[in-house]
Amino acid sequence: MTDKPELLDGYREKLVRRKQEWARDGRLIDDERGARPADDRLPPGQRLVETWPVLDLGVQPDIAKDEWAFTIDGLVENPIRWTWDDFLAQPQVTVQSDIHCVTGWSRYDNTWTGVHVAHLLDLCRPEKEAMHCLIYAFDGYTTNIRLDRLADSDVLLAHSWEGEYLTKEHGGPVRAVVPKWYFWKSAKWIRRIEFIAEDETGFWEDRGYHNEGDPWKEQRYG
């Protein structure tokens, strides 16, 4: 599993092009994310940890890799259904990012390997009406994210962390990694992404968490 900077650069170009198209279509709402000061890496109210805490609903589903199945459906031209082998057969990227959990811990420099979301969007081709995504996990967890935010160049579906397959505790076989938002948006044990027109709240968003979750704006609850 090696870094593929050229591949990633290609994706970045594609993403920029796609976002320009969306903007022309009036699909891209202005990005009102909080500004990150250039000299500060730790968002307000966070503390840095070296360990990697485990947080979930108390159920860690045991999904064997050969039983894993992943679906993309909803408002897409080309719905996708992947087995584990299909997933590994896609172009692989390695991306480094920081974790910011709403409970107050942050962890720097996590190296994730998996399938870039840009590749996924290339394949499934969201319809014009698709503005939001609902992510479903094998433990019953869900979380919502705006499509243009899922399409960000640092977002991937990861099977590995620091070069090793993700443990069950941390969401293996495959989890989402959406680094610019609090970590509750990064669904572990991902099984499905549904593209939808109107926003629908997920598990924590239904239970008092903020709908967006920008760590730089401290969008924790409410």
Ligand X SMILES: Nc1nc2c(c(=O)[nH]1)N[C@H]1C(S)=C(S)[C@@H](COP(=O)(O)O)O[C@H]1N2
Phi and psi angles of residue 188, each rounded to the nearest 5 degrees, phi first: -85, 165
Which of 115, 155, 187, 193 is the binder for ligand X (CB under 6 A)? 187
Rank residues 37 and 208 by Cβ distance to Mo ion and give the closer one. 208
Assess 174 for contact with ligand X (CB under 6 A). no
Which of 119, 183, 205, 214 is the binder for ligand X (CB under 6 A)? 183
Residue type, 52: W
By CB under 6 A, the count of residues binding ligand X is 18
Assess 184 for contact with Mo ion (CB under 5 A). yes
- 57 makes contact, choosing from ligand X, Mo ion, none, with CB < 5 to 8 Å by partner type, with ligand X
Centre a 10 Å sphere on the Cβ of residue 210 and count the other Cβ atoms it contains: 18
How far apart CA 185 and CA 101 sit, in angstroms, is 10
- Per this entry, what is the length of the chain? 222
CB of 134 to Mo ion, least distance (A): 18
What Rg, from alpha-carbon coordinates, does the chain have? 16
Residue 193 CA from chain centroid, whole number = 10
Residue 116 tokens read as 């870039």
Assess 203 for contact with Mo ion (CB under 5 A). no
How far apart CA 25 and CA 41 sit, in angstroms, is 34
Assess 56 for contact with ligand X (CB under 6 A). yes
Which of 1, 80, 101, 123 is the binder for Mo ion (CB under 5 A)? 101
* Interface residue list for ligand X (CB under 6 A): 52-57, 101, 137, 139, 141, 170-171, 183-184, 186-189
